[in-house]
Structure 1
């Protein structure tokens, strides 16, 4: 049987091209926002796995609570992810036509204010 022909590079080549293009063409501000998004995803997954494997008692400690003595919550993590994703979409140089032109400083101010409001409600829900 003849050996199978593989495409040169394959998945590894596509991954390397993606990483090198991202490193060269993405502004450092967007890389910082992407790092925040990655941190929020990892935090949310860790909280969800903790709830599934160990305990969800009391359940509201998972939703807005006190997981492993960290004042973080799953709802706050998801909310902060949505706000950070909105900031990334507004400050990206490759905006689609569906978004109006928003100044980057205005987008960051909106992000900060809405983050403060989100965490105000989370802390008040804790009691």
Structure 2
């Protein structure tokens, strides 16, 4: 198989995967997935800034980066709970409480 043929095959798999995702996922799941992508982008930008500019306020960098990691973990947990559709209100309540707790810890770590 030539490299061009394998690239076309990978594009076809990607297109079919995206079409199936759009068809199968509900609106809540898509919104949560977009928020997850935003969290990842924010974490990557913070890491690049730290690598390029420097780490002078190191506690601030650690707080921001661990905030992204914590929010990602909590949001993945919310996505898993929303996909099971057992009790959506309870899932959002737990997510909100855990996010507030995470932000409290992050703000205290900053100083």
Same fold (TM over 0.5): yes
Deviation per residue, 1:30-75 (Å, 9 max, x gap): 00000110000000000001111111112112112xxxxxxxx111
Unaligned 5+ runs, structure 2: none
Alignment of 1:96-107 (within 5 A): 102-107=86-91
Equivalent residue, structure 1, for 2:104: 120
Contact 2:39 2:68 in 1 (8 A): yes
The alignment yields a C-alpha RMSD, in angstroms, of 2.0
Residue 106 of structure 1 and its aligned partner are, at CA, apart by 0.8
Residue 91 of structure 1 and its aligned partner are, at CA, apart by 1.2
**Matched residue SS, 2:55:** coil
Equivalent residue, structure 2, for 1:98: none
Unaligned 5+ runs, structure 1: 65-72, 94-100
The 10-residue stretch of structure 1 (111-120 or 84-93) with the greater mean CA deviation from structure 2: 84-93
Q: 2:74 aligns with which of 70, 76, 83?
A: 83
Residue 92 of structure 1 and its aligned partner are, at CA, apart by 1.2
Higher helix fraction: Structure 1 or Structure 2? 2
Q: For the residues of structure 2 that align with 1:63 and 1:119, how far apart are their CA atoms?
A: 13
Which has the higher relative contact order, 1 or 2, with Cα contacts under 8 A spaced 6 or more apart? 2
* Bigger Rg, which one: 1
Residue-pair matches, total: 109
**Runs (4+) of structure 1 moved beyond 3 Å?**
3-7
Q: For the residues of structure 2 that align with 1:33 and 1:81, how far apart are their CA atoms?
A: 10
TM-score w.r.t. length of structure 2? 0.89
**Matched residue SS, 2:56:** coil
Residue 124 of structure 1 and its aligned partner are, at CA, apart by 1.9
